[in-house]
Amino acid sequence: MDIILAIFLLLLFALILGELFEKFNLPSIVGEILAGVILGPAVLNFIKPGPILSGISEIALFFIVLLIGIELTTESLRKHYKTGVLFTLTSFVIPVIAMILISIFLLHLSEETATILSIAIGVPSISIISVITNRLGLLKVDDGNIIISSVVITDITAFVLASIYIGKNIYLVILALVVFLLLLFLLDHFIRANSERVANIFRRLHAADRGEKIIFGAIILGGLVISSLFEFIGITYVLGAFFAGLLISDVVVGKSLQGILTRTLTRLDDSFFIPIFFSIDGLSAVIPSMHYAAVLIILIAATGIIGGSLDFYFGKKTFRNIKGKTAAGIFGGRGAVGIVIATIAFNAGILSVDLFSVAIFASVLLSLVFSLIINKRDVKTVGDPAIIS
């Protein structure tokens, strides 16, 4: 199928189904993912996944996560990292350990295969969770920042663990990541310490002819550079885009320019990048054979029940503005990170075609199931008179 027609159909179905789901108080991403599932090989087989669509999906994800980083601050990550570690344990580490044990002793998979498959299925994805958190209006309250902090810690942990089995030099990856993050936070500290000078530079540029174009171009280029560096050291570009966005704040560029940048990216994300990303993600869903369907069900049940229960309990105890059920639903989001890990493992020969399909289908199915238990009425955000300060 012609690529333009494919994008047209994906976007059309994603927007329609997304709005339809919103009308029934369900997250629009459920409809957007289902758009890809329906149009893809799993149902109608009108559109097949391919390198061009994958490239478009990666570009979309870059802009989605860049905006999430822009709307957060490094202070929020530093403030909430301890609580973030708690939810990394409940939403990822404990369920993954359980899945590994089940995969080895019940499903008789090798240790290497069981570990990679469990990580790919069990890792909450910053791509989906950040979008859900943003759409629920949680980025301006501490609870939303705790969720994002946890997912960032989780995704970094997942890639480091996966690199052990995929054959990369784990010590080099960890060292490079620590050095990079240290330099990034030092740069952020320097920019904030000289915020008035930096802001003046941006204000002068903004006032100049075609200044806005230059600023937007520089921000995008900077994000691409940092994302490329993350890819180079063996970590997904998604986290690179997130950290690049963290460097851009109203302290640095000024409130006026920050508002213009945020509004512009938000409109692009909501109308194109988010629906096209999740609909393309849905194309990856395939129907596994009966034997591997059993593997799929067992592992989904393990991570869903264990992780969901822990996230519900600790979410109810920890969050002031989110009810436990919706907190569990948010942390259940799966997507790009698990799919990336599964793809790398498949290309390295660690996962078979069937197990790769299990990982892909599990990511899509878990996102759909957990999204269904998210309820906007369980969330109190800025401007809500019932919010607990």
**Residue 322 pairs with which residues in a beta bridge?**
379
Nearest to 304 by CA among 353, 372, 239: 372
What is the average per-residue pLDDT within 138-165?
A: 83
In the chain, the number of structural domains is 1
Is 389 part of any domain? no
Residue 337 CA from chain centroid, whole number: 7
What is the average per-residue pLDDT within 339-368?
A: 84
Q: Are residues 329 and 371 in contact, defined by beta-carbon separation less than 8 angstroms?
A: yes
The mean predicted confidence, pLDDT, of the chain is 84
pLDDT at 388: 33
What is the average per-residue pLDDT within 359-387?
A: 75
Rg (CA), the chain: 20
Name residue, tokens 């409809």. 31
Is 78 part of any domain? yes
pLDDT at 148 over 60: yes
pLDDT at 362 over 70: yes
Is 385 part of any domain? no
What is the average per-residue pLDDT within 280-300?
A: 84
What CATH number has the domain bearing residue 126? 1.20.1530.20
pLDDT at 137: 84
Q: Are residues 239 and 230 in contact, defined by beta-carbon separation less than 8 angstroms?
A: yes
Tell me the CA distances in angstroms from 237 to 44, 51, 224, 289, 299, one per residue in order.
32, 17, 8, 33, 28
Is 387 part of any domain? no
pLDDT at 169: 62
Name residue, tokens 């997304």. 18
Answer yes or no: pTM beyond 0.85: no
Q: Are residues 33 and 279 in contact, defined by beta-carbon separation less than 8 angstroms?
A: yes
Q: How many residues in the chain?
A: 389
pLDDT at 156 over 50: yes
Domain range spanning residue 38? 3-378
Tokens of 181: 């993050």
- Residues 122-146: tens digit of each pLDDT: 999 887 788 788 878 887 788 988 9
Instruction: Give CA–CA dist 361/345, Å, rounded.
Output: 16
pLDDT at 56 over 90: yes
What is the average per-residue pLDDT within 140-161?
A: 85
Is 317 part of any domain? yes
Instruction: Give CA–CA dist 376/134, Å, rounded.
Output: 12
Position 51, amino acid: P
What is the average per-residue pLDDT within 147-163?
A: 84
Q: DSSP class of residue 86?
A: H
Name the percent of the chain lying above pLDDT 70: 91
Tokens of 117: 């498959």
Q: DSSP class of residue 235?
A: S
- When mean pLDDT is compared across 64-78, 137-151, 348-362, the lowest value belongs to 64-78
pLDDT at 39 over 60: yes
pLDDT at 50 over 80: yes
Q: Which of 170-184, 185-199, 222-236, 301-315 is predicted most confidently? A: 301-315
Q: Hey, is 382 helix, strand or coil?
A: coil
Is 383 part of any domain? no
Phi and psi angles of residue 379, each rounded to the nearest 5 degrees, phi first: -115, 130
pLDDT at 104: 95
pLDDT band at 170; cut points 50, 70, 90: low
Q: Are residues 246 and 72 in contact, defined by beta-carbon separation less than 8 angstroms?
A: yes
What is the average per-residue pLDDT within 36-58?
A: 90
* Biggest alpha carbon–alpha carbon distance for the chain: 67
pLDDT at 275: 92
Is 306 part of any domain? yes
What is the average per-residue pLDDT within 186-214?
A: 79
Is 384 part of any domain? no
